[in-house]
Amino acid sequence: MAAFRANSATYPTASATAWKCDFGTAESCSKVFVSDDEKAVVGTIDLDYRSLYHHFECATYLYKTSCIPQIAEDFEATLAKCRAVTPETIKKERITMKILGGIMKLIAPLM
């Protein structure tokens, strides 16, 4: 929950056109890509310069394996649990959660 609160504190600074997926109290750090129902990548690699060139993160590339349909189904099931984070949903969040998020954002580097 602490990581979720620290992360949710960054929502107001996100672009108004950005769409974020919020899992509620859970946090998912996995990255999953499925292409043409025959290729998939599953891992922890973020698609930014730092993660691709400076960090040692890992992922697995799968090609024509029997588990790819299960990966796609899991993604769809996870997506169904998400909620869109918009400027309107941010405004409706309780003030206590906003304060907690700000506090968690301050101590997040120590976690």
The pLDDT-based confidence of 40 (bands split at 50, 70, 90) is very high
pLDDT at 13: 54
Cβ atoms of 40 and 64 closer than 8 Å: no
Give the Å distances, CA to CA, from 11 to 25, 47, 82, 87, 110: 15, 19, 15, 8, 20
pLDDT confidence bin for 52, thresholds 50/70/90: confident
At residue 1, the pLDDT reads 46
The Cα–Cα gap between 11 and 87 comes to 8
What pLDDT was estimated at residue 61? 94
